[in-house]
Amino acid sequence: MQAIPVTQIQAPLLTPALGATQSPASAVRATRLMGRVRSVAVAEGDRMQRGQVLASLKDGDWRAWLAQALPQESLDQAETQYARA
């Protein structure tokens, strides 16, 4: 067996490198309602929180269809459920 001398050196904490990173988690979101996007509340690369609004839809078409399809009492219940979604 041969002995090898060991010396202590200062190693850099950061090493520059080229490449890309990929998140270990991803999410796919979909809506159950058709509609036009009113606003998008996030940008690519933003950190998200559970329950955070990602986008909002224009609801004029949906409200018009619902008003024709349901009696007023059911309409009130549907609007309440829609507001919670």
Q: What are the tens digits of pLDDT across the range 45-85?
A: 888 888 888 888 887 777 777 777 766 666 677 778 777 76
Q: Report d(CA 25, CA 30) in Å as an integer.
A: 17
Residue keyed to tokens 């078409």: 61
The predicted pLDDT at position 84 comes to 75
pLDDT tens digit sequence for 29-39: 666 666 788 89
The pLDDT confidence band at residue 20, using thresholds 50, 70 and 90, is confident
Task: Please enumerate in sequence order all residues whose Cβ is within 8 A of that of 34, keeping only pairs 6 or more positions apart, or say none.
Answer: 61, 62
State the Cα–Cα distance between residues 58 and 34, nearest whole angstrom: 10
Average of per-residue pLDDT across 12-20: 73
Indicate the pTM of the whole model: 0.38
Phi, psi angle pair for 3, to nearest 5°: -85, 140
